[in-house]
């Protein structure tokens, strides 16, 4: 797969994943929102019909973009709520 196609595919997967993250249970006590996976990442990926590796790459992309920060197994702190919303609908070239 060409790099540009691979990049576009990753953006699409991330955009598809973000609305699902919004459905996750949240933890926040006067601080940043923390999303918690209710099952393992592998089970979550299977439930939404994607490969675990694809799910992992999408989360890693959100971490690399400083939108989420992993706080432990199945826990992700939202660093940039606006960035998370924007990731749900990436710009089309």
Q: Domains plus CATH for the chain?
A: 3-87 (1.10.10.10)
Least confident of 2-6, 21-25, 88-92: 2-6
The pTM for the full model equals: 0.71
Task: Compute the average pLDDT of residues 36-45.
Answer: 91
Task: Compute the average pLDDT of residues 47-57.
Answer: 90
H, E, C per residue of the chain: CCHHHHHHHHHHHHHHHHHHHCCCCEECCCCCCEEECCCCHHHHHHHHCCCHHHHHHHHHHHHHCCCEEEEECCEEEECCHHHHHHHCCCCCC
């Amino acid at each position: 797969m060409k790099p540009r196609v691979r990049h576009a595919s990753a953006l699409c997967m991330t955009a598809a994943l973000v609305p699902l993250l919004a459905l996750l249970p949240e933890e926040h006590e006067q601080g940043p929102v923390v999303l918690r996976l209710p099952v393992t990442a592998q089970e979550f990926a299977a439930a939404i019909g994607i490969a675990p590796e694809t799910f992992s790459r999408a989360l890693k992309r959100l971490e690399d973009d400083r939108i989420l920060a992993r706080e432990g197994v199945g826990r992700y702190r939202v660093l940039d709520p606006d960035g998370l919303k924007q990731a749900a609908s990436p710009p089309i070239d």
